[in-house]
Structure 1
Amino acid sequence: MFTSRILFSFLAIGAVSVAASPAPIIAKRADVSDILTVVSTLNSTTATILPQIDALVASNSANEDSITPLITDLASALGTATTSLASLQGADTSTGGSADDVAAAIAPVVAGIATSLSGLETAVPTLTSLLSGLGLDTSLNQVLSGLETLLAGVLNLVATLLVDVAGLLRSLAFGLTLASLGL
């Protein structure tokens, strides 16, 4: 009888603890529009940074001191996009757009970064080591990898759109980005 009371007590405690446990959280899969929102935010952020770099080049006032904060901001924007993409739980490609839409949205961002930074090559002889030291290639590659994780095959589409930019990426020593894109 004493044993049955102990067993009953354990079963009762177990039932109470199971009943008190929260239901498992089921993450909603992101749709493509969620991914496009992240890319759009990245585009908006880079659209404020890249013109500043271009203005420094145009005014012949670009130097390591003047561009370092802008490149740091650029790396930060890419890091924020990477974090946002990582928070999405897969992608439901049946809603909110397509992989083509994502490729069309990210390609101009990558091209803009490559174009603006390549304008610095003459003004800042230490540009490639500065970019490497600030991890810009790594940051850009992480964004692209995040997109590929969510939408398998999207990097093939992006690469097709960036064939003309491959030379700029190569001159900036963006080896990781080029490798991810297969360029």
Structure 2
Amino acid sequence: MLFSQLFSASLIFLTFGLAAATPTPKEAKLIKRTGTSSDIQEVFTTLKQTTDSVLPKIDSLASGGTATEAAVAPLIGELTSALNKATSSLASIDGPVSTDGGPSEQDIANLVAGIIKDVATTLNGLTGATAVPTLTLLLPGIDLALNQVLLGLDILLSGVLDLVANLLTSVAGLLRSLNLGLLLGTLGL
């Protein structure tokens, strides 16, 4: 008899104890998983898809001699918007991030450096376009947006900016000529 009462009391305690420890649906929404390097790679793959769409349009305008302020400004705006979206996407990833089972820091650094090189090369092609006198006014927005992306990346994968900087040493002069000072400062170039 005593055994059955103790067993019943234990069963009730375990049932209510487990029920109390199980998060309610409202609490369950608050539980976040830590991001992975695959999440970061997805952000930069999406950004690359956009830059691969926008940059050739700018290149075509510059090489064809048809680069005008009216034609280039919306494309620069689209590029800036894509960079800002990448920053927001990085901010939504819970970090710090592990590279276990996902792309390595070097893989991500290669992707990021490639995007920055592509952007710098395209912008450099516009510097000779006399029909875009406001280019110098548009570049600080790109500089700020690129810098914010890098800062978001650094929060998630501390130390990856050193890898990115090493990959960009060959275009540091180009970045300087474009006056991308925030980007250069963050990378230590």
CA deviation after TM superposition for structure 1 residue 26, in Å: 2.1
Aligned match of 2:139: 131
What pairs with 1:17-32 in structure 2 (closer than 5 Å)? 22-23=26-27, 25-32=30-37
Match of 1:180 in 2: 186
**Counterpart in the other structure of 2:92:** 87
CA apart distance, 1:20: 7.2
Alpha-carbon distance in structure 1 between the residues aligned to 2:80 and 2:24: 44
What RMSD over aligned residues (CA atoms) do the two structures have, in Å?
1.7
Provide closer, same or farther for how the CA distance between residues 60 and 20 of structure 1 changes in structure 2, counting only shifts above 3 A.
closer
String of CA shifts for 1:33-59, please: whole Å, max 9, x gaps: 110000000000000000000000111
Alignment of 1:98-137 (within 5 A): 98-123=104-129, 124-132=132-140, 135-137=141-143
Q: Quick one: distance in 2 between partners of 1:20 and 1:84?
A: 27
Which amino acid letter does the alignment assign opposite residue 165 of structure 2? A
What's the counterpart of residue 46 of structure 1? 51
TM superposition outliers: structure 1 runs of 4+ over 6 Å: none
**Structure-2 change in CA distance of 1:115 and 1:23 (3 Å):** same
Unaligned runs of 5+ in 2: 1-22
State whether structure 2 residue 79 is matched by structure 1 residue 74: yes
Higher alpha-carbon deviation: 87-96 or 77-86: 87-96
SS at structure 1 position matched to 2:126: coil
State the shift of 1:21 in Å: 8.7
Distance 1:126 1:21, change over 3 A: closer
TM-score by length of 2: 0.82
Q: Percent identity?
A: 50
SS class of match (2:158): coil
Alignment of 1:7-18 (within 5 A): none
Q: Which runs of 5+ in 1 are unaligned?
A: 1-18
Measured after TM superposition, the shift of residue 23 of structure 1 is 2.9
Aligned residue identity for 2:164: V
